[in-house]
Structure 1
Amino acid sequence: MNESGFNKLYWGFLFTMLSFRLQGFDILPDIVGYLFFAAGLSKLTLSSNYFSIAAKYNVPMIILSIFSIYQSPVQGGGIQLGQLGILSIPLAIASIVLNLLIVYNLFMGIKDMAEKQEQSEFVKVSDEKWNQYKILQIAALCTFIVIFIPLLNVIYIIGLLVISIIVTIGILGFMKRCSESLSALK
């Protein structure tokens, strides 16, 4: 049961962390990722209360992620607020906060499971992956400041892309290891 839950979390991270747009449409829509999270978290709720908490935060994210399926391509320069206008700003803030709460509780649930099974490596790595994810999200937010600094903005965005890929691969690998090692309830 836990193995299936971790496999669903793997797919959830894949869809939520990677974003490819084709003419404004997200090829890997976040809503699919949050649905995978919902399925995975429901299978893991008996293993740690943190998974139940993450599941509660995940419900509004499923709804909010509907708004990110399509974003009209940028026409010209300047800041674009999208289809919802000024309402996009509070929705974006709510999405960022909820996403961080989901991922925090998800990693703390893994840490809790690992502590119960006396697997200290997973306790440590869970904390590391949470910190990497949190720093990546903060760095992504800083893009809005750095974007106005010529040359530095290009270097920053390329660096952020590379780091994002590294963190994503690390988290996906960690989810695979969790499905193999933390599957048995002890």
Structure 2
Amino acid sequence: MYQEGYNKLFKGLIVVLIDIRLNNFNICPDILGYIIIVSALGILENQHSAYGKAKSFAIALIFFSIPDIYQANNILDGIGVSNYNILFMIISTIAGIMELVLIYYISEGIINIAKDRGLNELAEKADERWEGILVIEAIILISTPFYLNINIDIFAIYLLGIGIIAFIMHILFISLTKDIGKVLG
């Protein structure tokens, strides 16, 4: 029963991670991923209360992800600062913080269930993955406002580097949810 929840969680997190755009439309929108995550956490919340807390944030992220379906332009395209870009930056920052809390509660559930079952290595692995995501996402969230004052070319190179590291950290966390479904499900 719980393995189905972990499989859905894995799939939902993958959908959120993937960002494929066609003519400014996200053809794999985050909103679908968050709906799958809410469904998964609905199954898993009976296994640990942390999943119920995570579910609340996933529901909120459904609404915060709506602006991501269509973006008129990229904030790093050199067009300049506009009200749309600033509003999108604020919404993205709030959504980023909420996603971080979502990942925290998912990690907390995994860690506590693993410890209860005597799977200390698994709990430690989940904690390390959470801490890695926390550090990299904190760096991204803290640096985002500086976009307005930094040379766009330098900031784009910085974002590419930090983005690659963040992508790897998220892949490691997502793969953990797949593995945990086999053990804790």
> TM-score of the superposition, structure 2-length normalised?
0.86
State the Cα distance separating 1:76 from its structure 2 match: 5.0
Q: Does residue 26 in structure 1 map to residue 12 in structure 2?
A: no
Q: Whole-Å Cα distance in 2 between the matches of residues 98 and 150 of structure 1? A: 27
Q: Does residue 10 in structure 1 map to residue 10 in structure 2?
A: yes
State the Cα distance separating 1:103 from its structure 2 match: 1.1
Q: Whole-Å Cα distance in 1 between the matches of residues 64 and 152 of structure 2? A: 33
After superposition, what is the alpha-carbon deviation per residue over 1:104-151, rounded to whole angstroms, capped at 9, x for unaligned?
111101111111111111211111111122222223221442671466
Equivalent residue in structure 1 for 2:184, among 162, 166, 182: 182
Identity of aligned residues (%): 26
Is the helix fraction higher in 1 or 2?
Answer: 2
Cα pair distance change 1:51/1:69, threshold 3 Å: same
Cα pair distance change 1:62/1:150, threshold 3 Å: closer
| Residue of structure 2 in register with 1:167 after alignment | 169
Flag as ranges the 4+ runs of structure 1 deviating above 6 A.
Answer: none
| Residue of structure 2 in register with 1:55 after alignment | 55
Equivalent residue in structure 2 for 1:158, among 153, 160, 173: 160
Q: C-alpha root-mean-square deviation of aligned residues, in Å?
A: 2.2
Please list every run of 5 or more consecutive structure 1 residues that lacks an aligned counterpart in the other structure.
Answer: none
User: For the Cα contact (< 8 Å) 1:14–1:168, is it kept in 2?
Assistant: no
What number of residue pairs does the alignment pair up?
A: 181
| Residue of structure 1 in register with 2:146 after alignment | 145
User: For the Cα contact (< 8 Å) 1:30–1:68, is it kept in 2?
Assistant: yes
Aligned residue identity for 2:59: V
Aligned residue identity for 2:58: N
Cα pair distance change 1:130/1:116, threshold 3 Å: same
| Residue of structure 1 in register with 2:109 after alignment | 109
